[in-house]
Amino acid sequence: MTFAVHGLPVARGIAIGRAVLMAGRVDVAHYFIPPEQVESEIARVRAGRDAVVDEIHRLQQTITGMGPKEAPHELSALLDVHLMLLQDQDLIAGVKHWISERLYNAEWALTTQLEALSRQFDEMEDEYLRERKADLEQVAERILRYMKGVATPVPPPARRPAGGLQQDLALEGTTDVPLVLIAHDLSPADMLQFKQSVFAGFVTDVGGKTSHTAIVARSMDIPAVVGARSASQLVRQDDWVIIDGDAGVMIVDPSPIILAEYQFKQRQAELERGRLGRLRHTPAVTLDGERIELFANIELPDDAAAALEAGAVGVGLFRSEFLFMGRQGHLPDEEEQYLAYRRAVEGMQGLPVTIRTIDVGADKPLDDTRHDDAHLNPALGLRAIRWSLADPAMFLTQLRAILRAAAHGKVNMLIPMLAHVSEIRHTLSLIDFARAELDNRGTAYGPIAIGAMIEIPAAAIMVRSFLNYFDFLSVGTNDLIQYTLAIDRADESVAHLYDPCHPAVLRLLADTIAACRAQGKPVSVCGEMAGDVDFTRLLLGLGLRSFSMHPAQLLAVKQEVLRADTARLAPWAQEVIASDEPGKLLA
């Protein structure tokens, strides 16, 4: 039966594919194996299952001979149930199916089948049988634990299925079926694992439009919906699903007529993409001759290729924290960071690269071992520059690596989340110290421009003081909105109040741009507003001449720029920011 689930649109486009449900267990590895590894992967699960069976047999022998006090009768009955579940054909046959048909790795196949069987248990009328779901979970947990202790093959690079929809549908039942990922939640690090991956779209139950998970989804340029509440409960493994990333809707089990309509929309979007592609080499100049710089936001050095492909004039924001995620506490050392930054710099072929120093915390935990849920309010806690200043050795390592990369091309350094002059002074003195360390070592480094992000209202209000210390500023509207309006950007329950058009937000933004222009210092916007075509005219009218966004958004923004006349937009923009309801004037 066809039904729709609504959420928040985060990345545009239409995806049609089979649901891969990742309900709950994102802690196991998810990757695709090469076909020649199918047998050994099945053998790994079998070995895990057999080891758990042996363990239970041993336990049964131990409790035989014990008195009813030490080993109550229920314990032996429970072990019998576990043995029965372990020998259940549906469990092993299902796991074999996911491995051989979908090329899932063993852990992924096991958790997928566990999920499918759990749903069958949920639907059982008999209460006793329904409760056996917990036993099944325990059994699967034991197998997983056993497999964890056994050497796991190195995951091969993920691949993405090729071919259009027609071809994909014709390949139904093979490993080339397009897949869409449905999960309760995904951390930015999980998302990163899926970059350049197989998935044609994403839906998550939680998350706001500018949560970091949504930002990575957008950078992958595939349709995505977040905040879809109970999506992962309503969809079953392998259901056909349409993700409408423009409307923020997921349609499950579409009827042929709905499917045809969305296939048509998908083709239209392809044509539009082709049309925009022709603008790649067109200079971004407005009708009245203002030259506009369109930069790219990237997460990993290899994203430089997409930035060049989109015609970006440089990288305006390299979110360096993604190099630090999922490392289980082993942070990249100076050499590894230097090589990564250098790769981005060389990848941009002479164009400038703005590297932001590490911005972890809040909805960007480093990994499970350093998760900071213990703090009551992580978005207001030890995040970004506060985290760096609290760990000077780590910070100096990063600063040296960035300075060294600057010997290979034009590099700017951007500092996130500053609010206090004392933080500014401390940061600048550490940058000097990092230079001195490199001098002492005789290691080469290059010149850098140093900029600050304006993403806390306090920073926007004292922007003129900031300008005394920095070469340029970059406005992080994602956080500026979050902190101005006291709305958690990752919380879908308050997403309706996360309003870029709030007069307070727009006035802080307008004043920051005006202050920089008055002093002739470069200013850019690198939050999601910069890539949203609904705001291009307003930002141009406020005097912004530099935008940084995901490469996928760049050509649509360029199209707006080419149609704009900044001389005419300027008075209108002043009217907008003076209004109590700017959204109405923007509509």
Angle between helices 566-578 and 503-519 (to 10 degrees): 130
| Other beta carbons less than 10 A from residue 393's beta carbon | 6
Shortest reach from residue 482's CB to ligand PEP, in Å: 8
Report which DSSP code applies to 475: E
Q: Of 31 and 472, which CB lies nearer to ligand PEP in the complex structure?
A: 472
Chain contacts with Mg ion (rule: CB under 5 A): 455, 476, 479
Shortest reach from residue 416's CB to Mg ion, in Å: 6
Three-class DSSP category at 344: helix
Pairing of strands 224-226, 546-549: unpaired
Q: Of 86 and 523, which CB lies nearer to Mg ion in the complex structure?
A: 523
Given 212, 501, 502, 550, the catalytic residue: 212
Angle between helices 334-347 and 392-405 (to 10 degrees): 40
* CA pair distance 285, 552, nearest whole angstrom: 19
Closest CA to 328 of 302, 365, 356: 365
Shortest reach from residue 382's CB to ligand PEP, in Å: 15
Closest CA to 21 of 174, 187, 241: 241
Q: Of 168 and 363, which CB lies nearer to ligand PEP in the complex structure?
A: 363
Three-class DSSP category at 440: helix
Chain contacts with ligand PEP (rule: CB under 6 A): 215, 317, 319, 359, 455, 476-479, 526-527
Q: Of 181 and 526, which CB lies nearer to ligand PEP in the complex structure?
A: 526
Shortest reach from residue 317's CB to ligand PEP, in Å: 6
Active site residue 212: yes
| Other beta carbons less than 10 A from residue 451's beta carbon | 23
Closest CA to 252 of 16, 468, 433, 93: 16
Q: Vertex 496, ends 556 and 25: CA angle to 5°? A: 85
The residue whose two tokens read 């990994």 is: 367
Residue 560 binds: one of Mg ion, ligand PEP, none (C-beta under 5 to 8 A by kind): none
Active site residue 82: no
* CA pair distance 397, 337, nearest whole angstrom: 9
Residue 526 binds: one of Mg ion, ligand PEP, none (C-beta under 5 to 8 A by kind): ligand PEP
Q: Of 111 and 477, which CB lies nearer to ligand PEP in the complex structure?
A: 477
Q: Of 244 and 455, which CB lies nearer to Mg ion in the complex structure?
A: 455
Residue 527 binds: one of ligand PEP, Mg ion, none (C-beta under 5 to 8 A by kind): ligand PEP
**CB-based burial label for 580 (10 Å; 0-12, 13-18, 19+):** exposed
Closest CA to 159 of 183, 182, 184, 178: 178
Shortest reach from residue 479's CB to ligand PEP, in Å: 3
Residues designated catalytic: 212, 526
